[in-house]
Amino acid sequence: MDILLSESIQQIAGKLQSWRRDFHQFAESGWFEFRTATIVADELHRLGYSLKMGKEVIKADARMGVPPEQALQAQEQRAIKQGALTAWLPHFSGGFTGIVATLDTGKPGPTLAFRVDMDALDQNEAQTHRHLPYAEGFSSCNANMMHACGHDGHTAIGLGLAHILKKYESQLTGKIKLIFQPAEEGTRGAKSMVEAGVVDDVDLFIALHIGLGVPQGELVCGSDNFFATTKIDVTYRGVAAHSGAKPEDGKNALLAAAHAVLGLQAIAHHSEGSSRINVGVLRAGIGRNVIPDYALMKVETRGKTNEINNFVYHQALNIIDGAAKMQGVEYEIALMGAAQSSPPSPAWVDFIDQQTRQYIPELSSVVKSRQQPAGSEDATYFMERVKANGGQATYLIFGAELSAGHHNERFDFDENVMTTAVKTLATIALHLPYFDAT
Amino acid sequence: MDILLSESIQQIAGKLQSWRRDFHQFAESGWFEFRTATIVADELHRLGYSLKMGKEVIKADARMGVPPEQALQAQEQRAIKQGALTAWLPHFSGGFTGIVATLDTGKPGPTLAFRVDMDALDQNEAQTHRHLPYAEGFSSCNANMMHACGHDGHTAIGLGLAHILKKYESQLTGKIKLIFQPAEEGTRGAKSMVEAGVVDDVDLFIALHIGLGVPQGELVCGSDNFFATTKIDVTYRGVAAHSGAKPEDGKNALLAAAHAVLGLQAIAHHSEGSSRINVGVLRAGIGRNVIPDYALMKVETRGKTNEINNFVYHQALNIIDGAAKMQGVEYEIALMGAAQSSPPSPAWVDFIDQQTRQYIPELSSVVKSRQQPAGSEDATYFMERVKANGGQATYLIFGAELSAGHHNERFDFDENVMTTAVKTLATIALHLPYFDAT
Amino acid sequence: MDILLSESIQQIAGKLQSWRRDFHQFAESGWFEFRTATIVADELHRLGYSLKMGKEVIKADARMGVPPEQALQAQEQRAIKQGALTAWLPHFSGGFTGIVATLDTGKPGPTLAFRVDMDALDQNEAQTHRHLPYAEGFSSCNANMMHACGHDGHTAIGLGLAHILKKYESQLTGKIKLIFQPAEEGTRGAKSMVEAGVVDDVDLFIALHIGLGVPQGELVCGSDNFFATTKIDVTYRGVAAHSGAKPEDGKNALLAAAHAVLGLQAIAHHSEGSSRINVGVLRAGIGRNVIPDYALMKVETRGKTNEINNFVYHQALNIIDGAAKMQGVEYEIALMGAAQSSPPSPAWVDFIDQQTRQYIPELSSVVKSRQQPAGSEDATYFMERVKANGGQATYLIFGAELSAGHHNERFDFDENVMTTAVKTLATIALHLPYFDAT
Amino acid sequence: MDILLSESIQQIAGKLQSWRRDFHQFAESGWFEFRTATIVADELHRLGYSLKMGKEVIKADARMGVPPEQALQAQEQRAIKQGALTAWLPHFSGGFTGIVATLDTGKPGPTLAFRVDMDALDQNEAQTHRHLPYAEGFSSCNANMMHACGHDGHTAIGLGLAHILKKYESQLTGKIKLIFQPAEEGTRGAKSMVEAGVVDDVDLFIALHIGLGVPQGELVCGSDNFFATTKIDVTYRGVAAHSGAKPEDGKNALLAAAHAVLGLQAIAHHSEGSSRINVGVLRAGIGRNVIPDYALMKVETRGKTNEINNFVYHQALNIIDGAAKMQGVEYEIALMGAAQSSPPSPAWVDFIDQQTRQYIPELSSVVKSRQQPAGSEDATYFMERVKANGGQATYLIFGAELSAGHHNERFDFDENVMTTAVKTLATIALHLPYFDAT
């Protein structure tokens, strides 16, 4: 089987590359993945998958960090001009750019879900011939949108996997769900899919990422480095006044924000593990001689565990509230993103470790976990839900050579990782009968 | 009459000096004036004045900044050892060290009140032969108590005035009240006497001070430089925790206080006049490796007008409250002192200006007002009450040569100012029939 | 003469209105007054004044708050499209939009200078029929530029005055200089004209403003309410780092700015007079999960006197510097504007007071000074220079009914004030022989 | 041998208890261990150990947090009254209260050192019959000094070990050094002994502690939970001024401290491990109406590694410096204590683990390490020096039942731990020939 599988995958290697490069060129940021989603839906539909899309798989009020309506409409128009398949577009309109494709083998067996993400980052791509996507003509044509994290590859892997699984359907058991998630950047999208119930029937779950500093050829079977995180926008609203003529009439939103910044950065460390706080952006005031009547802060908290993140977050809420009271200003807090910490399920990690060591010779190294810098990932929402329902979940990292770090304007990856990933994931699915989940 | 008056006053010059030096030597801080008060009461009684004392003239719960019961008892014992007249002591026990002496002439006429203060400062006196009180043997024998502001002289002036007025009783009209107030330092005592009603029947009111940077020989008839002020002690109470082992268990009172300090000092300026804020003292924490569970701040606000002080004070309350909420700590605010701003009554100032220019040749200069550094005085409480009842009030400053500034450990004044002051005040009383109050 | 003068002025009332409305419609912000300046220059030239312009009257490196070169060029192009007289444009190119017109009578006498300002504010104008300039079709056609402070009227008054003075040249003595200044808003332009020496030969100086809360028909002959001020932009530059992965690598520019904001607002009050401080704008950081590597603060200090402003400004420099050192970040300070306090010359104010009471019946009220809210004006630079050279200077306010306060998007003024102003100023010039400057 | 050893130890169990209770009753804080040191020296001398003491084993200028000379003298007098052996006292006078006792077997072999600490804490002991030391009459008779951390037991264990080792001298090899250290609390003493060279010849090193939350009967062979730490006192010195009259003359030390507090608590987290910062104490200002001219902060930094602590400490230095510059105040930093992180040597830990499992049946549990709350210990200085010279070092914890947590006023421990500890330590020394250090 493995030889056949390898051959099958080699046959779609060109497709993987062309999908990836197409998504890369028409990079779409979170909740704007209109073109990408229509292409994904169309492909999956043509393969024979049963699809759920848009509001069926995304709970509207559980979405976080959704851009304003006006921007959504403009981007939808942009997508149409760039070849979005308009037949599918109504499903995704308004920022509901998620898809769940199901393959029901009709045979008994667990439900296995794979999750990939589709969104680009809000940044411009390098315009230099030393940057391969630019040199080869597939760098992003959309201003302030760039696939600098590899989600273009993830989406292509998802489609490639769909091809292979369909091809080998007769050898599969149970059900397979392929989840294409929007807005992972900023950890904004997963919660809304989880709350729509898309993994409520899932027994085994795999999310994946390429790169992340793992060497080319290495697979991490159970990455456990994701911090729980909460991302909020805080807006203080005071009262403007002429700073020379009537200073006593002002309610100074910037003073509130300055206290909040210092207070937030000074939240106590936690003895049970690492935590983080950042006020990454502050915008306040309208003129030099006017007491600032507004201040916007973009804040995020993180914690090694959900409990630690909650500790930091609730301290932050007190600080934000108290700083407002100090200056007599009002405030609003908007939840812009969130993710959890979620340790992988040991037995599931062991199984993947064994299978991949044995059957994927392309992998020069297979490890269960790896010390990595603190980051966050909203796939953890899926993982927590699956585990809460008695299932098992893990997060794979496929090592890949990178031209520059993630989120760098010159980020690019060795596209060979895509075939390795497809083969690995398909193999896990095909070998599932050998897994004893109890 | 003026020659006779001058002679009468010269006859008591020695008394003035000995009283002043006795009070100086046995300096007693606010609410501790046990010995002073018994001596004053005894003298006034022997002169034939009708006396009200202690709780009759001081409303208990309107007192501010009263020391703890234990300290009051200890100081009362100290006073006994230093010659307090024990027959009078029960009136003053517990920190009710005020006296109002009344001389009712039986003739029609307004009620005129003079107010002097009796308390020393919480500081040590210089122990050097270059400091005259030390050289001549009457420097303070009480640790951390020193007459460094001249209230010893004020008390002596009050007694001297009592002598002269009694002697010239037949030439007086209406009623005269002599108010001996405790605890002016920190502006703690006046409010309690006002709320006991001691000036509710007063038509004309004079408070006085010596020195204050006014040149020897000059009289300021209507000093208008007193800022309204509020003095509070703020105590934050958090939760201690080992800063290494369990930092997350602490509620950091010092962090709250640090925010409060910065917030308080940053209260907006007021376009209608000067204001001040000061956190003069901060004490927080018990050990280097313990998250501070308490912080005490000594705060004062000031404003050119009562409205401005109120603005600053209410901003301060918000800041103190918000800083507590930022850190999740509790707090208490204790009112420790307060004074008002109170413009002198113009007609009353004019009258004093005219009379003193004409009848007190000892004064080389008489002015209505004078630009002076911002300070506070709780005589303003008496002034505001008298004016609120339709009366007239003013504040006199008798210029005096000083050996060092007020509140300096080497403060001393030229004692000649006392006879000038007694003559001036007596002259005003004797000439009162010429004043048209309408 | 006065009747003739009144008639002469009535003859140009229409011109005043049409100039003012033209300038209003083509409002140009500071250093962008390209169209305005060419029209002013052309008019003055045609009247026969001797002109100095551009770099002759503006010292390049003494200009403050000059926009970037690119913006200057774009605005010059905009001005051309809007009818700037291209023959004059080269003088003003690059943001040298000042003019000094001289009328030398050839007769002995002092040099008298009048200064008007020409710039608009950086704001949009109300688009509503309740706003007269919009209803009558002369509201600003330039985005983010609006004459909301009346400088359009000042420029028109300057041109009207030029007409009248030329007409009555034979009755004048000495020299008259008319100064048309750019960039008064933000107090950016005057210093550069003073440093170019334009008032070095001036004996008597008048600056003027309309409105400012003074009632229609009232003239303030010696306004003394201008605070000295310094306006700076502070940029902190730190080092960005991923706030989750490598927080220790960052140098947090926002933290520095937050300390600076709190420190600046907490600068001590000054016992000798009012002061102000404001951080009106803060912009920091590039992304929620990135430690902020820059922060821009727009700051201004003010003081009742130059000394007090200097005190505040130098405290501010220490605070800005110390806050940088706390966080290990670099900083730059750009001087964006400055003005001084400058008491009017009493004799000159008296003269204007007498002359206008006697000869300008249109004025229902003439006062020497008036309590007003604290503001700043860079005409003070001219005043200080003239006085430093032994001359006399003052600042006039012509009361005017306003539709809304200065800097409001619906600001407009009763245009009748323009004829009153021209008559008043011309009368002062014509009566100058009666002024005894000694 | 083991049976004999057990018997020998049982024979000194009474001595262990009486030493411990004597030291407990006459508790002496860091650098004040005058009485304790003389008793220890006398005992060791009588046993036949070769002694070095005082300045021979303590480098004067490497001591940290030494109390003022006056306090040292007073405590030395106190010690004399409480039975300090005056013959030995001169060695320790001035706060040089350390002893190193050497037993040279004359046989080849490594040099093995044991280190115990002798100091009490600055706190009062509970006065209640529910507190055994009080009930049995050996609670501390010294105000503000209490053995609330078990160092009284450590000192007794050191003496007991000295007895046993001397008794079994013939079975030992190499050299044995017993180090009795002062001032471990506040991590003040070890550095001065290390810099005096007392472990420069040591091949194998053991420090120990009892309790620390480890269950009675358990031995931790290689505790690795000590954070590197630096403890400093920071004093800001500004200029006092009357806050009402001359606020501009002040240089506000409290404002500097408030900025420093907020800045310090906001030092960035480190991605490589935990860190801590605490400002445990702040004392500032002398009076409510005086701008504070001094502020004292007691600060400590901690880090999981020396590098992390250094990072925090150097950030702290910048913050302290910058905060001073913000307010124009001076400052001094006094180093009050320091400790390092120091991972135990694995082979040495393994050996102890094996030996104790086999030979100390009193131990119900032997573990190599144990997750524990973050604390600091200056034994790490010895460990780092020994390892730097190629030796091996570890830190043992002997579990003990406690009546209350360390540093609690009711702290007490089950004294049986002392015999277990002596037996364990002696066994390690006796079995040393079986250890292969390579």
* CA–CA distance, C268 with D247 (Å, rounded to integer): 6
CATH 3.40.630.10 placement within chain B: 1-226+342-431
Residue C183 CB partners (closer than 8 Å, separation 6+): C30, C31, C33, C63, C64, C65, C97, C119, C189
> Residue B1: is its pLDDT beyond 60?
no
> Residue D438: is its pLDDT beyond 80?
no
Residues of A in contact with D303 (CB under 8 A): none
Please answer yes or no on whether B327 and A322 come within 8 Å at the CB atom.
yes
Please determine, looking at this structure, whether the domain spanning A1-226+342-431 carries the CATH number 3.40.630.10: yes
Identify any residues that bridge with A229 across adjacent strands, giving them in sequence order: A302, A339
Residue A371's pLDDT band (cuts 50, 70, 90) = confident
B213: left (phi over 0), alpha (psi -120 to 50) or beta: left
Please answer yes or no on whether A274 and D274 come within 8 Å at the CB atom.
yes
Residues of B in contact with C374 (CB under 8 A): 271
Residue C303: phi, psi to the nearest 5? -155, 150
Looking at the complex, report in whole angstroms how far the Cα of residue B411 sits from the nearest Cα belonging to chain C: 23
Q: Which of C184, C259, C261 to mutate to test the interface with A (most CBs of A within 10 A)?
A: C261
* CA–CA distance, D142 with C39 (Å, rounded to integer): 92
* CA–CA distance, A184 with A192 (Å, rounded to integer): 11
- Compare CB distances from C269 to B269, B271, B373 and report the shortest one's residue: B269
Closest alpha carbon within chain C to B269: C276
> Residue B429: is its pLDDT beyond 70?
yes
Count other C-beta atoms under 10 Å from residue C82's C-beta: 14
Count other C-beta atoms under 10 Å from residue A234's C-beta: 25
Q: Look at residue C99 in the predicted model and tell me its pLDDT.
A: 98
Q: Look at residue D347 in the predicted model and tell me its pLDDT.
A: 96
> Residue A97: is its pLDDT beyond 90?
yes
Q: Is C407 a known ligand-binding residue?
A: yes
Residue B350 has which token pair?
């004019």
Please answer yes or no on whether A280 and C258 come within 8 Å at the CB atom.
no
Binding partners of A (≥3 Cβ pairs within 8 A): B, C, D
Q: Look at residue C1 in the predicted model and tell me its pLDDT.
A: 54
Q: Is B252 on the interface with A (CB under 8 A)?
A: yes
Identify any residues that bridge with B303 across adjacent strands, giving them in sequence order: B228, B275
Residues of A in contact with D269 (CB under 8 A): 269, 274-276
Please answer yes or no on whether B266 and C271 come within 8 Å at the CB atom.
no
Looking at the complex, report in whole angstroms how far the Cα of residue D110 sits from the nearest Cα belonging to chain B: 36
Residue A225's pLDDT band (cuts 50, 70, 90) = confident
Please answer yes or no on whether D318 and C326 come within 8 Å at the CB atom.
yes
State mean pLDDT over D265-270: 96
Q: What is the DSSP letter of D206?
A: E
List the 273-292 stretch of C: residues with Cβ below 8 A of B.
274-276
Note whether A348 and A394 are within 8 A (CB). Answer: yes
Closest alpha carbon within chain C to A229: C244
Note whether D247 and C270 are within 8 A (CB). Answer: yes
Q: Is B185 a known ligand-binding residue?
A: yes
- Compare CB distances from D325 to C247, C311, C325 and report the shortest one's residue: C325
Q: What is the mean pLDDT of chain C?
A: 96
DSSP H helical ranges for C148-290: 151-167, 190-195, 253-265
Residues of D in contact with C246 (CB under 8 A): 271
Burial A29-64 (b: 16+ CB within 10 A, else e): bbbbbbbbbbbbbebbbeeebebbbbbbbbbeebbb
> Residue A1: is its pLDDT beyond 70?
no
State mean pLDDT over A144-170: 97
Q: Look at residue B4 in the predicted model and tell me its pLDDT.
A: 86
Q: Looking at per-residue confidence, does A245 or C256 come out higher?
A: C256
Residues of A in contact with D275 (CB under 8 A): 269
Q: Is C311 on the interface with D (CB under 8 A)?
A: yes
> Residue A89: is its pLDDT beyond 60?
yes
State mean pLDDT over D18-45: 98
- Compare CB distances from A282 to C229, C280, C284 and report the shortest one's residue: C284
Alpha carbon dihedral D7, D9, D11, D13, in 10-degree steps, equals -140
Q: Look at residue D375 in the predicted model and tell me its pLDDT.
A: 84
ipTM higher than threshold 0.90: no
CATH architecture of D228-339: 2-Layer Sandwich (3.30)
Reported as a single tens digit per residue, the pLDDT across B182-232 is: 999 999 999 999 999 999 999 999 999 999 999 999 999 999 989 999 999
Binding partners of B (≥3 Cβ pairs within 8 A): A, C, D
- What is the biggest distance separating any 2 CA atoms in chain C, rounded to whole angstroms? 83
Please answer yes or no on whether C322 and D324 come within 8 Å at the CB atom.
yes
Reported as a single tens digit per residue, the pLDDT across D288-320 is: 999 999 999 999 999 999 999 999 999 999 999
Looking at the complex, report in whole angstroms how far the Cα of residue B240 sits from the nearest Cα belonging to chain C: 26
Please answer yes or no on whether B274 and C276 come within 8 Å at the CB atom.
no
> Residue B438: is its pLDDT beyond 90?
no
Closest among D293, D285, D288, D286 to D244, alpha carbons compared: D288
Note whether B374 and B312 are within 8 A (CB). Answer: no
Distances B372 to B212, C274, D247 between C-alpha atoms, Å? 8, 15, 14
Residues of C in contact with A258 (CB under 8 A): 257-259, 261-262
Note whether A391 and A204 are within 8 A (CB). Answer: yes
List the 254-273 stretch of B: residues with Cβ below 8 A of C.
262-263, 265-266, 269, 271
* CA–CA distance, A302 with C245 (Å, rounded to integer): 11
Looking at the complex, report in whole angstroms how far the Cα of residue D297 sits from the nearest Cα belonging to chain C: 16
List the 357-376 stretch of B: residues with Cβ below 8 A of C.
373-374
Please answer yes or no on whether A250 and B263 come within 8 Å at the CB atom.
no
Angle between helices A416-430 and A2-25 (to 10 degrees): 130
Closest alpha carbon within chain A to B321: A326
Looking at the complex, report in whole angstroms how far the Cα of residue B295 sits from the nearest Cα belonging to chain D: 9
State mean pLDDT over A360-389: 92
Q: Look at residue B81 in the predicted model and tell me its pLDDT.
A: 97
> Residue B131: is its pLDDT beyond 80?
yes
Q: Look at residue D372 in the predicted model and tell me its pLDDT.
A: 78
Q: What is the pLDDT along chain C (438 residues), one digit of tens a residue?
A: 567 899 999 999 999 999 999 999 999 999 999 999 999 999 999 999 999 999 999 999 999 999 999 999 999 999 999 999 999 999 999 999 999 999 999 999 999 999 999 999 999 999 999 999 999 999 999 999 999 999 999 999 999 999 999 999 999 999 999 999 999 999 999 999 999 999 999 999 999 999 999 999 999 999 998 999 999 999 999 999 999 989 999 999 999 999 999 999 999 999 999 999 999 999 999 999 999 999 999 999 999 999 999 999 999 999 999 999 999 999 999 999 999 999 999 999 999 999 999 999 999 999 999 887 778 999 999 999 999 999 999 999 999 999 998 988 999 999 999 999 999 999 999 999 899 876
- Compare CB distances from D262 to A262, A275, A374 and report the shortest one's residue: A262
Closest alpha carbon within chain A to C240: A280
Q: Look at residue B374 in the predicted model and tell me its pLDDT.
A: 75
State mean pLDDT over A266-294: 95
* CA–CA distance, C403 with C217 (Å, rounded to integer): 16
Looking at the complex, report in whole angstroms how far the Cα of residue A276 sits from the nearest Cα belonging to chain D: 7
Please answer yes or no on whether D266 and A266 come within 8 Å at the CB atom.
yes
Looking at the complex, report in whole angstroms how far the Cα of residue B313 sits from the nearest Cα belonging to chain A: 13
pTM to 2 decimals?
A: 0.91
Q: Which of B239, B246, B248 to mutate to test the interface with A (most CBs of A within 10 A)?
A: B248
Residue B359: phi, psi to the nearest 5? -110, -5
Residue A282 has which token pair?
């502050």
Q: Is B14 on the interface with C (CB under 8 A)?
A: no
State mean pLDDT over D71-99: 97
Residues of A in contact with C259 (CB under 8 A): 258, 262
Q: With 0-12 CB in 10 A as exposed, 13-18 as middle and 19+ as buried, what is D3? A: exposed
* CA–CA distance, A294 with A239 (Å, rounded to integer): 8
Q: Look at residue C347 in the predicted model and tell me its pLDDT.
A: 96
Reported as a single tens digit per residue, the pLDDT across C10-48 is: 999 999 999 999 999 999 999 999 999 999 999 999 999
Residues of C in contact with B265 (CB under 8 A): 265-266
List the 170-189 stretch of C: residues with Cβ below 8 A of A.
186
Q: Is D209 a known ligand-binding residue?
A: yes
CATH 3.30.70.360 placement within chain C: 228-339
